[in-house]
A = this chain, B = another copy of it.
Amino acid sequence: MRVGIIGATGYGGAELLRLLNQHPHVQDIILYSSSKEGMNIQESYPHLSEIYNKELQSINIDSVKEEVDTVFLATPPGVSSEWAGKIAEAGCQVIDLSGDLRLEDPSVYEAWYKREAAPSSLIQKAVYGLPEWNREWIKSAKIISNPGCYPTATLLGLAPLVKSDLIEFDSIIVDAKSGTSGAGRSPSAITHYSEMNENFKIYQINQHKHVPEIEQLLHQWNKKVSTITFQPHLVPMVRGIMATIYVKARKKTTEQELRELYREAYRHERFVRVRPDGQYPATKEVYGSNYCDIGLTYDERTGRITIVSVIDNVVKGASGQAIQNFNIMNGFEEGTGLKLVPMYP
């Protein structure tokens, strides 16, 4: 396969380069840019010295069509709206890591993203690339809308419960914590080192763009779910997301029953690890890998279930999951190029 990346100078792009370097079916990688044409990727990322000696190319549909089979878009909002359709029409597979094509209803997109939505016709062609639950559709997709980082951790953590009848469906609260890499590479006051280290922040209260994305999937899975409460926080670390999820049980249950439900749901999933009794995952236990680790418990005193779901936001929450989708779309073994043992410590 020949692969193109648009947006290689961002963190999602850099991580694609790290992972694709190990992918046995990727022969060539071409880097495109609409703003930094001519720059060598090593100038932007010295850690790639002597590994990728490549210049960024301008995006030209005729060249793209000639040069690559699949295009990953690791781009800021608005770019995919413009390019994903054209690239797909040119016959290339598209895997879009941005949020542009995730929300089915353009008015919802516009309300939360505060910008114009992509054309409906384009959105409708995109398949939401959460492999554990949408694998069949991904197989035949031409355009993948790769899930957001928070939605990945949250949805994998909630799916078995939401698809069951064990919970009160208006009781879902997600307290999410992320490393700073999710905020991207552009320097800002909020992620300035002196203001972020030895600090813990809450941000975008009741307003994070990933809320409607999570709600959309939950609602697809179970019509009884409409809204959730979701509050994101910034942790003084670079990588890692933990979603601590609180749900009220509809009736008395046990930790054993819940664990069995999750074990059954993810029995054949290589990238979801349901932890045993009394063990809860820390974010570092999936660092640099494509795993989503899940721990859970039930509190008899309160009748409340707590689920702990962790991922590396740059891997399973972005580029790793994108490659997982790439593998599925192309009939490769799903873990190809992703057999990464978490880096610890």
Contacts and interface: CB of A to CB of B under 8 A. Distances in A.
Interface of A: 11, 14, 17-18, 21-22, 45-51, 170, 173, 175, 177, 179-181, 183, 185, 187-189, 191-203, 205-206, 227-229, 231, 233, 235-240, 242, 244, 246, 273, 275, 279-288, 293, 295, 297, 299, 301-302, 304, 306, 308, 310, 339, 341-345
A149 to B, nearest CB: 14
A240 B11 contact: no
Nearest to A19: B341
Q: How many identical subunits does the complex contain?
A: 4
Contact of A236 (B185, B188, B189, B236): B236
A192 B194 contact: no
A240 B199 contact: yes
Contacts of A235: 200, 235-236
Q: Which of A45, A47, A284 has the most CB of B within 10 A?
A: A47
A287 B238 CA distance: 13
Contacts of A275: 46, 49
Contact of A233 (B206, B242, B286): B242
B233 A177 contact: yes
A342 B293 CA distance: 24
A290 to B, nearest CB: 12
A310 B49 CA distance: 14
A233 B285 CA distance: 15
A191 B76 CA distance: 22
Q: Which of A181, A282, A288 has the most CB of B within 10 A?
A: A282
B202 A344 contact: no
A284 B17 contact: no
Given A49-B293, A175-B244, A21 B341 contact: yes
Given A237-B200, A244-B202, A246-B229, A187 B185 contact: no
Nearest to A50: B273
B343 A343 contact: yes
7 contacts: A14-B345, A18-B341, A22-B339, A192-B192, A202-B280, A206-B301, A236-B236
Given A17-B341, A194-B345, A206-B306, A46 B239 contact: no
A189 B185 CA distance: 8
A50 B345 CA distance: 18
A198 B200 contact: no
A343 B320 CA distance: 13
B284 A198 contact: yes
Contacts of A306: 205-206, 229, 231
